[in-house]
Structure formats: structure tokens, C-alpha cells
């Protein structure tokens, strides 16, 4: 699979990058991204705590970095207000992608779709709008604020990965845990989504089947699609599992024990 060829014919060996940056700070990774990939890279966010930390670093390095927000039509009003406040106060370069085309199909054919088939709802209202955007933009890489500690399904993430469509995915916050994240938010006086103060630990769409207050003692994402098997919306389920990634993680684990 390696080295992956960018559309612009730059070549990067992801295994080497994962080795090189395995203990790098978020700033170092972002500096590399901006020096080597910009403007061939973008990010999506719903302005949750991890996204805010990533944006806070990014805006110091590249203030006009393109940030895409997927408006499923089911966001909490507080999320939309928070997005608008950040655009104003931080002068962010935010583009909102609407899922209206797909919602029309839902209304016509599916009735009470959300409760009946959450996976398809996410597919139509999140994944497909993003896939359309990716084709339109023709960028080669995407930044994300995923962290290993958020969920067992995210424990195997690496800093540099590839998705099944061939885009590079860069996760500069994989080593951050929830405690470090909130210490940073408070120490830097960063704004944060108002629903965190109301007992939510992870905030997605408003239907209670999709976002509820966290279960006491549960993981950060325990309030997402609670009481179902679902743990992810689908935006991050297309990352390619590769031997090289597993090998770098094992090395990190060995080095930590020394």
C-alpha cells in the first residue's frame, strides 16, 4: 500500500510519518501538515471539545484554514449558535454543508426514519454529504480531532492513516485524554459548547436516541446512541487497518513501558 501517492503526485510514506511523529505535539503535526499539504487539506468538526482544541492550535498557524460543518438538520440549536459565535469571535473560515437533498428522500419514503434505522440516517445525513464534498473539493487529506481514549473502537488510531477512498487522515490529538483536553480548555480559557455544562459529554444530533446525557461512570461517548449497538456515525469507519499502523502502536506501547 505504501508509499501512498497524493493526487498532486507528492509521495509520503505513512509508516515513516507515524514513526517520526509518534510523540510529536499537536502543534508539530499541524506545522508539518501546513508546510507539506496545505491547501490540499481540510477538516470537519461539530465544535465539540476535541475539535475546539484542534482549531485553537490551527488558527495560530493558519487562521484561514477551511473548516466544514455538516448540518444534518438535527443539531441542537445550541450547536448552531455556538458555531455562529465562533465564526464571529474567532473569525473562522467555516463552511456549512447541508444534507437537504437526502432529507427530502427521507421525508418522501421513510416516515419516522431516525428511530427505525440510525445507520442509514447517519449515512444519508452525514457520510454522503461529506463524500460529495470530498469529491467536489478534490483535497487529498483531512484533519480530525479523534482521540484514542474516546472509545474502544478508536483505541487503534494512528496519527497518519488512510481511508478506503484513498484520502490521508491525520489525527493530531490521538495521545490526548479527556482530562488533558479539559485542563487545556480551562487553562487557555477556550470557549466550549454550552451543553457540556448540562451533563452532556459528547454532543451530536438532538434526538434522544442519538445524544443523551452521559451514563454515570460510562465512557465519554456513552450518551451517543445509548442502548444500541451503534458507536460511530460512520464518518470514521472507513479508515484502513494496516500492519504498519499496528506495528507503530506496538512500538509506542513498548517504549512507554521502559
What helix, strand, coil percent values describe the chain, rounded to 5? 45, 15, 40
Does residue 114 touch ligand SF4 according to CB under 6 A?
A: yes
Whole-angstrom Cα distance, residue 4 to residue 88? Answer: 38
Query: Which residue number has the CB closest to ligand SF4?
Result: 205
Does residue 125 touch ligand SF4 according to CB under 6 A?
A: yes
Among residues 44 and 245, whose Cβ is nearest to ligand SF4? 44
**Count of residues of this chain found to bind ligand SF4 when the rule CB under 6 A is applied:** 13
Among residues 122 and 141, whose Cβ is nearest to ligand SF4? 122
Among residues 59 and 213, whose Cβ is nearest to ligand SF4? 213
DSSP characters over 67-87: EEEEE-S-B-HHHHHHHHHHH
Does residue 203 touch ligand SF4 according to CB under 6 A?
A: no
E strands, 14-145, in order: 41-44, 66-71, 93-98, 141-143
Does the annotation count 233 as an active-site position?
A: yes
Q: Which of 66, 191, 194, 207 touches ligand SF4 by CB under 6 A?
A: 207
Among residues 126 and 154, whose Cβ is nearest to ligand SF4? 126
Whole-angstrom Cα distance, residue 77 to residue 54? Answer: 23
Q: 3-class DSSP state for residue 5? A: strand
Q: Which of 15, 83, 126, 249 touches ligand SF4 by CB under 6 A?
A: 126
DSSP characters over 179-245: HHHHHHHHHTT----GGGGGT-SS--BSSTTTB-PPPTT--TTTTBTTTSS----STTTTBPP-HHH
Min CB(227)–ligand SF4 separation in Å: 14
Q: Which of 86, 173, 185, 233 touches ligand SF4 by CB under 6 A?
A: 233
Binding site for ligand SF4 (CB under 6 A): 72, 74, 114, 118, 121-122, 125-126, 204-205, 207, 210, 233
Amino acid at each position: 500500500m505504501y508509499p501512498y501517492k497524493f493526487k498532486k503526485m507528492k509521495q509520503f510514506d505513512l509508516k515513516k510519518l507515524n514513526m517520526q511523529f509518534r510523540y510529536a505535539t499537536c502543534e508539530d503535526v499541524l506545522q508539518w501538515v501546513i508546510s507539506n499539504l496545505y491547501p490540499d487539506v481540510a477538516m470537519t468538526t461539530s465544535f465539540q471539545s476535541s475539535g475546539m482544541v484542534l482549531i485553537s492550535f490551527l488558527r495560530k498557524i493558519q487562521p484561514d484554514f477551511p473548516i466544514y460543518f455538516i448540518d444534518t438538520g438535527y443539531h441542537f440549536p445550541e450547536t448552531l449558535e455556538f458555531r455562529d459565535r465562533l465564526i464571529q469571535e474567532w473569525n473562522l473560515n467555516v463552511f456549512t454543508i447541508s444534507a437537504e437533498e437526502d432529507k427530502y428522500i427521507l421525508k418522501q419514503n421513510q416516515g419516522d426514519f431516525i428511530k427505525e434505522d440510525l445507520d442509514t440516517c447517519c449515512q444519508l445525513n452525514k457520510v454522503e454529504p461529506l463524500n460529495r464534498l470530498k469529491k467536489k473539493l478534490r483535497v487529498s487529506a483531512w484533519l480530525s480531532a479523534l482521540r484514542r481514549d474516546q472509545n474502544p473502537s478508536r483505541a487503534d488510531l494512528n496519527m497518519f492513516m488512510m481511508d478506503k477512498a484513498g484520502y490521508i487522515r491525520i489525527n493530531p490529538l490521538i495521545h490526548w485524554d479527556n482530562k488533558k483536553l479539559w485542563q487545556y480548555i480551562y487553562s487557555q480559557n477556550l470557549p466550549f459548547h454550552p451543553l457540556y455544562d448540562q451533563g452532556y459529554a459528547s454532543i451530536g444530533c438532538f434526538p434522544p436516541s442519538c445524544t443523551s446525557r452521559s451514563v454515570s461512570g460510562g465512557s465519554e461517548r456513552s450518551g451517543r446512541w445509548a442502548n444500541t449497538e451503534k458507536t460511530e456515525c460512520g464518518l470514521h469507519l472507513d479508515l484502513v487497518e494496516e500492519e504498519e499502523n499496528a506495528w507503530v502502536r506496538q512500538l509506542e506501547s513498548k517504549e512507554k513501558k521502559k
